[in-house]
Amino acid sequence: MEVRARYVQMGLFTLAVLALGFGFVYWINNAGGLSDRAAYRVQFDGPVSGLLRGSAVLFNGIRVGEVTALDLNPAQPREVRATISVDRSAPVRKDTVVSIDFQGLTGSPVVTLTGGASGDPVTAAKGELPLLKARSDAGETMSQSARDVLRKLDTILSENAKPLRDMIANIDTFAGALARNADKIDGIAAGLERMTGGAAARARALTFNLQHLHVPEAKERAPAVQVVVPEPSALSSLDSEKIATVSAEGVLSAMSDAQWSDAVTRIVQATIIRGLEDSHAFAGVSRPLDDLTADFRVAIDIRKFQIGAGNAADVEIGSKIIDSKGRIIASQVFRASVPAASEDASAAAAAIDQAFGKAGPDLVAWVARTIAEHSAQKGPQPKKAAGE
């Protein structure tokens, strides 16, 4: 049986499929795809390097459409006109900013739409698409920007060539002066370091303390007496942890590689209190306390506590004994001098400690004797009867 070929029907079917295909392509390119689209005309006042039909259109970084057409303005050769198709839901306004950005490693150009504060829609002349004007530098590439910067830099250098030459000459002169005085710079830096205490921070200073005083038990005692020893007074040069030195010309300085364990006034106070306690001459010896009523106060004034001329340790301490009514009942000055074995810090600290070891026991013995004699002369106070 012969098969009858229906060529006419097959041809019509083929033509219909082709027509539908062309229609679909036309719809995609012009009608905007599957969503409702709005078309806008964008005017660029310069080159748009790399921008093509089909390039993406982004609104605040989100893709909302694509470029559907590109053409030139015959009346204005600098202008480039692009037609874009975007989703109608994109809030394109009259003040929306249009520019070109480059994305990815290849730097593919895209049209960017940014914000817009007003609620006014984009207007259009009769029979034309709504017009958006791009920024004047919208099509400028990174290479163009770099060339512009280099041109501006070249202009600045050209206009300031003489001042730059003068500056370089001054730097050369300054470098030459530094080279000629290189041996003095180390000395200046060392002086600044000493002045700011940098050397002390880098190399930790040796620390010394005073030995306990060798005080025998007092022969004369005042067993009912309470004694307080306030912190001694001293010049500011002695009221610190530094080991002081005085030259033959009277110039006062301090050793940079050694110091006392505490301020001189506090370690002298603690050592004197310990010595008075070891004498067993009084009922109690203490620093001043808020709730303590003392019978006598021993005021100490440190006048010398240093290495003096001739590398000898000089210690001079003035002392006053004050009763509970604030009257000075006795005063005395104690001095001692001991030569240092050498000029290093250890020998200096040892010599000052030895000198204080001579003056300190004399002060303790004098305080014990004086208060005991005063208490004996004063005698016991009669107790007042009740109601008097």
Q: Which of 147-161, 211-225, 291-305 has the highest mean pLDDT?
A: 291-305
**Which has more confidence, 21 or 335?**
335
pTM of the model: 0.48
Mean pLDDT of 296-311: 92
**CA torsion sign, 247 to 253 to 256 to 257?**
positive
Asked whether residue 388 carries a pLDDT value surpassing 50, the answer given is no
What does the pLDDT read at residue 290? 84
What does the pLDDT read at residue 141? 59
List the one residue out of 280, 264, 209 whose CA is nearest residue 231.
264
Asked whether residue 314 carries a pLDDT value surpassing 90, the answer given is yes
Q: Map tokens 């040892």 to a residue.
A: 350
Structure tokens at 337: 């001098």
What does the pLDDT read at residue 144? 65
What does the pLDDT read at residue 382? 46
Angle at which helix 161-180 crosses helix 142-159, to 10 degrees, equals 70
What confidence tier does 266 reach under pLDDT thresholds 50, 70, 90?
A: very high
Cα–Cα distance, 334 to 360 (Å, whole number): 8
Mean pLDDT for all residues in the chain? 83
Asked whether residue 134 carries a pLDDT value surpassing 80, the answer given is yes
Structure tokens at 311: 């590398």
Lowest-confidence segment of 14-28, 107-121, 202-216, 370-384 by average pLDDT: 370-384
Lowest-confidence segment of 26-40, 291-305, 311-325, 345-359 by average pLDDT: 26-40
Cα–Cα distance, 387 to 66 (Å, whole number): 113
* 339: β partners: 312
- Chain centroid to Cα 320, Å, comes to 50
Asked whether residue 386 carries a pLDDT value surpassing 70, the answer given is no
Cα–Cα distance, 37 to 29 (Å, whole number): 11
Summarised one tens digit per residue, pLDDT across range 174-194 is 888 888 877 777 777 777 776
Cα–Cα distance, 200 to 186 (Å, whole number): 17
Lowest-confidence segment of 74-83, 196-205, 323-332 by average pLDDT: 196-205
Is residue 257 within 8 A of residue 243, CB to CB? The reply is: no
Cβ neighbours of residue 12 under 8 Å, at least 6 residues apart?
Answer: none
Q: Map tokens 């002169």 to a residue.
A: 173
Lowest-confidence segment of 29-38, 204-213, 271-280 by average pLDDT: 29-38
- Chain centroid to Cα 5, Å, comes to 94
